[in-house]
Copies of this chain bind each other. A is one copy, B any other.
Amino acid sequence: MAPPAAIEVLGDSDTTGITIPDPLAVPIRTNDILGRRRKTESRQWGTAAPCDTASFRLKSYAGKPKAKRWDHILTEEAKSRKGSSLKGAAKYLSKPGLISLGGGIPSSEYFPFEELSVKVPARGHFSEEETRKTGVTLTAGKHDLANGKSIFDISTAFNYGQGAGSAQLLRWLTEHTELVHDLQYEDWACTMNVGSTSGLEAAFRMFTRPGDMILSEIYTFAAAVDCATPLGLRVAGIPMDDEGPLPEAMDDILANWDTSARGARKPRLFYTVPTGQNPTGCTQPASRRKALYKVCQKHDIYIIEDEPYYFLQMQPYTGQNSPDVPPPASHEEFLKSLVPGYLSFDTDGRVMRLDSFSKVLSPGSRTGWVTASQQIVTAYAKAADLSTQNPSGMSQLVLFKLLDEHWGHGGYFDWLIHIRMSYTARRDSILAACEKHLPPDVVSWNPPMAGMFSWLKVDFTKHPDYPAESIEGIQDKIFLGNVDHGVLLMPGSWFYANAEDEHDTLFFRATYAAAPAEKIEEAIRRFGESIRKEFKL
């Protein structure tokens, strides 16, 4: 339980007037942010202190509409959450001179940690090689807050926190969200989670009840299905084309929903990975996102936008023999190159966006965040208070030192461009291998624009056992043949949204994220060999 902020006891009032470090020693909108960071209440930097992310926004949202209310979709569990009852004490803590013997918060005297340091890349010198040579060591001391050295330190980060996370990192996350998305309603807010898988589970528990069906891509993130199934949920898969789920198909499913045939009431939740989807690698263009959003408005569907790959959007694919497209020349150009998130046209507050550092900084930080309307964020944070609590304070402190005090927003954009170019090279290398080694009559693909995955379509009708053998049967033979040839690709059926549905396609998923280029080429060569053998080419 995150206990009430023991302000007086912890000497937080000594910390007023700390200089906020320059978060943006960088071209992009620097002065805007520096000018716009408001004078914030120093009490919120204290141990387990609550904060209000609205106070971290850079722009005014006056005149924008308020988000709709979601009481009719939220579960009883979500609506009955009152948060931690002991926080009732918090309102008394502001009394001057009060000594609290209330909260069971340990004294930081008993944390055996005097300093925490990380060696990280200097801005613009991002490779491992450069980091070894020119990397910068960032150090957090135990009492930097009390000493005026920083607004975050070991004594606060390593103590209890709020389920929403620390004000220090939440401010940066809120600003980042605002720099990237053009939010369309007034009462949006951010709150942290211990990673998007936890975020998704929390969302399922907030928005569904056992027996429900949810909507998703017909091929979808396997862990989402694995997470949903024990909660008594099933997934209704929406047929896709190269641009993602088909809005007409989604509308048709919903308009003609047959409760008794489906064995479930009409869905209220659409789970989607709009960018570099796992497993298909598909990226929904803006027009598709808007069309899907309209269908959701028509049928009053709430949207979970899961975006771990958003910043793995790559350079346009020009083919093997054309020159590469040069990297974005500015942060503005970089941000403009990104497909707009659902957040950028969500006027209803109908979207919960899940953001993650897992694919761009470190999965092990187990620190992600949610952006949604205040009603939903509050419900979410109250659930976190009494389950996961805050993400690790050690992670939060490391991320704060790197992102706020060292790189700033601009430096982080530089890093994201570095990642973008690296993934572009990886994708180009797997595509080159595919073009070189795979039989084009049997295996085909679209160049992925984002993410970690090549989604290779296999024409099962050319298989010698077709049509006597099922698609899944042919798939399994290919899978085992691949392993015999020394390569492992993920079978498409492992990503079926609903294994009960009939499927008329056969895919394999190959990731280019992990292995070095020469291993990727060798792997694809083996896959080609395996396919040729299996199809007797």
Interface residues of A (CB under 8 A from B): 1, 6, 9-10, 76-78, 80-86, 88-89, 92-93, 95, 97-107, 109-121, 126, 128, 131-132, 135, 137, 142, 157-161, 194-195, 197-198, 201, 221-223, 225-227, 229-232, 278, 358-367, 383, 386-396, 398, 402, 415, 419, 422, 452-453, 483, 486-490, 494, 510-515, 519-520, 522-524, 526
Contacts and interface: CB of A to CB of B under 8 A. Distances in A.
B387 A77 contact: no
27 contacts: A6-B514, A76-B232, A85-B494, A99-B519, A99-B522, A99-B526, A101-B487, A101-B488, A101-B514, A102-B490, A104-B453, A105-B511, A110-B419, A114-B132, A115-B117, A115-B137, A116-B116, A116-B398, A160-B363, A160-B364, A195-B388, A226-B386, A227-B387, A364-B396, A366-B390, A391-B392, A392-B394
A76 B229 CA distance: 11
Contact of A362 (B113, B383, B388): B113
Contact of A83 (B83, B86, B201, B226): B226
Contacts of A128: 109, 114, 142
A112 B132 CA distance: 11
Nearest to A387: B201
A399 to B, nearest CB: 9
A389 B366 contact: yes
B489 A112 contact: no
Counting every copy of the chain, the complex holds 2
B486 A95 contact: yes
A418 to B, nearest CB: 9
A22 B398 CA distance: 28
A358 B389 CA distance: 12
A388 B198 contact: yes
A477 to B, nearest CB: 15
A355 to B, nearest CB: 16
Contacts of A113: 118-120, 362, 398
Contacts of A396: 364
Given A278-B104, A514-B107, A197 B386 contact: yes
Contact of A103 (B194, B226, B511): B511
Contacts of A118: 113, 115-117
Nearest to A399: B394
A380 to B, nearest CB: 13
A229 B83 CA distance: 10
A161 B364 contact: yes
Contact of A226 (B85, B114, B119, B231): B85
B194 A366 contact: yes
Contact of A117 (B86, B117, B198, B514): B117
Contacts of A105: 363, 511, 513-514
Given A110-B422, A512-B101, A392 B364 contact: yes
Contact of A98 (B453, B487, B494): B487
A363 B166 CA distance: 14
Contacts of A114: 119-121, 128, 131-132, 135
A483 B383 CA distance: 30
Nearest to A527: B101
A400 to B, nearest CB: 12
A9 B514 contact: yes
Given A113-B119, A365-B394, 19 more contacts: A1-B222, A9-B514, A89-B488, A99-B487, A100-B515, A101-B487, A101-B514, A101-B524, A104-B453, A106-B513, A113-B118, A115-B135, A159-B364, A198-B388, A201-B387, A363-B393, A366-B388, A392-B392, A394-B394
A178 to B, nearest CB: 23
Contact of A111 (B102, B225, B361, B392): B361
B392 A158 contact: no
Contacts of A362: 111, 113, 158-159, 393-394
A123 B516 CA distance: 43
Nearest to A398: B394
A40 B347 CA distance: 56
The interface centre, meaning the residue of A114, A359, A391, A415 with most chain B CB atoms within 10 A of its CB, is A114
The interface centre, meaning the residue of A194, A221, A394, A483 with most chain B CB atoms within 10 A of its CB, is A394
Given A230-B80, A358-B106, A99 B137 contact: no
A80 B229 contact: yes
Nearest to A83: B226
A92 B489 contact: no
